[in-house]
Each structure stands twice: as structure tokens, then as C-alpha cells.
Amino acid sequence: MAKKKSVLDFYEMKKKGEKITFLTAYDFPTAQFAEAAGLDMLLVGDSLGMCVYGYSGTVPVVMDQMIFHADAVRRGAPNTFVIGDMPFMSYQSSLEKAVENAGRFLKEAECDAIKLEGGVRIAPQIKAIVEAGIVVMGHIGLTPQSSGQLGGHKAQGRTAKTARLVVQDALAVQQAGAQMILLEAIPPEVGKYITETLDIPVLSIGAGPHCDGQLLIVSDAIGQFQAFTPKFVKKYANVAETVTGAMKDYVAEVRTGEFPKAEHCYNMIAGEEEKFLKLIKK
């Protein structure tokens, strides 16, 4: 069994140019599969709002939901670095609330780190959480919790001026003490510049191939999430098709009587059937 990696291992991997592998996970079985596949880190993302609960976005997700799912993932992947994602309004309104909710991921779900969205404007929260002794991953570029302000789920930093704003956010996150950062949906040129400029490991979800590691939403990567597919997604399986196909076969076999067969039934202990028939006739 591979040893669980720490944030120091991720710094070392950045130095050596070894890519960090990163997926989301929301439940026990998926976490088991991910650990068996050798993932370096797992994010219990608030994307579970869409991928598990069927909400149209991440905004309705609350802390308790995140803790329940993080706890399940922790049990499924005991030897993998697990990051809990701070949901909307669990850190924005005050530093105290941010520290308290970040701490819940460690105390109640044994997470190794937390992630939160925002750059310059969320730097005080990052600093406060880091000062409480918690490993923080920043998240900038397209930040889904504030997609209303961004005019939707749109790529960021596509002009020189907005790319500079993304770089300023990245610097603010590092300066506030975050030990890792995630860049979402920005051009590869900007991802490359930030990766080369920052000392901390830089993860990408739609930020090009130059970053220190790559993240995908597991429900996208295995072809489970149906509502939409962002440009940065590559599907490695078609679980929706496989599972729907299996369910259709089941429905057909139950309807025709093909299932269950004798091999799916429990035999009575020898001699008990006769006694049973006598008993029920009394």
C-alpha cells in the first residue's frame, strides 16, 4: 500500500517536475476506487451539489453535507490526501466563521486540508485559517460560487488585463499562506506563468498542461454527469451508458422471468420442505 502523501511531498513533486494527480470524490466506493488507482489527492468538492444532489449549482450546498461526504471519502481512502471544499457562505462573512468551518473538516472528517474560492478579496480568510494550523488550497480563475458575478461559468483571464488580475489573485493566495493553489478555466499561457512564478504547487482544472498537477470532476471523467460538459473535460469511461444498460437488462429480465434463477435462491435445509408443507396444512 502506498504511503499517504503530505503537502511536503507535493512541494517535492513540483520541484522534480512530477505531475500531481487529483480527482474529486463524494462517496465511500468512489474514494476506494480512487485510492486503488493511485490518485495523489482527492477533493470533496461542493460540485457534489450538482453531481450528487442535482442542484443547478453549488450555492445551496451547506457545511453539514460537506462533512458527511468528506467523512465517507476519508473512510474509503484512508491513505490518500483528502481536501474538504468550503461551501458558499461558510467563510465569506467573517474570519471566525471561516476558521471554525475549516476546522470542522479536520475534526469531524479527518481531512488533510481545505480549499476555498477567491484571491485578493479572500486573503484575510486564508491567513486566519493558516494561522489556525490548517493546510489551505486557494482556488482562483473561474470560481463557481461567484459565477453570478462572473456572468456565468466562463473562462477567466483571456485578455491581458484580466490575466493580470488572475496573477494578482495567485500572488495574494500564496502571500496569505496557502500551501497549494487551484486554477480553474484560464488560458494555458496564464497557467504556465503562475506555475513558474509561485513556489507552492499549482493545480489545474482547465488551466492547461503546464501546471504541477491536474484535477477533474470524477463525475465528468467517468461519464456519469449528464447536464453539461465543460471544454476542459476528457471522459475516460461512460458510466451513464453502462449503468443505464445494466438497469435496462435487469428490467427486461424481471419482466420476462429470466431473473432470478435457481442459483440466486436459498435452498431449504434437506428434509425441511416436507415438514414445512405439513406444518402449513395444519
Taking the complex as a whole, the smallest distance from the CB of residue 109 to ligand KIV amounts, in Å, to 15
Helices 188-197 + 160-175 axis angle, to 10 = 30
Taking the complex as a whole, the smallest distance from the CB of residue 184 to ligand KIV amounts, in Å, to 5
109 binds ligand KIV (CB under 6 A): no
Nearest to 116 by CA among 136, 96, 97, 135: 136
Taking the complex as a whole, the smallest distance from the CB of residue 43 to ligand KIV amounts, in Å, to 6
Of 21, 26, 45, 138, the one binding ligand KIV (CB under 6 A) is: 45
- Residues in 199-238 that interact with ligand KIV by CB under 6 A: 205, 217
Decide whether 43 or 113 has the Cβ nearer to ligand KIV: 43
Quote the CA–CA distance of 9 and 246 in Å, as a whole number. 41
Three-class SS string for 81-109?
EEEEECCCCCCCCCHHHHHHHHHHHHHHH
φ, ψ (nearest 5 deg) of residue 75 = -70, -30
Q: One symbol per residue from 148 to 187: x for binding ligand KIV (CB under 6 A), - otherwise; what is it?
A: ----------------------------------x-x---
Quote the CA–CA distance of 225 and 15 in Å, as a whole number. 35
| Contact range with ligand KIV by CB under 6 A, out of 40-48, 96-104, 156-164, 234-242 | 40-48
Of 10, 20, 24, 106, the one binding ligand KIV (CB under 6 A) is: 24
Quote the CA–CA distance of 197 and 168 in Å, as a whole number. 11
Q: Write b or e for each residue in 221-235: b if 16 or more Cβ atoms lie within 10 A of its Cβ, otherwise e.
A: bbbbbeeeeeebbee
Judged by the rule CB under 6 A, the positions of this chain that interact with ligand KIV are 24, 43, 45-47, 85, 139, 144, 182, 184, 205, 217
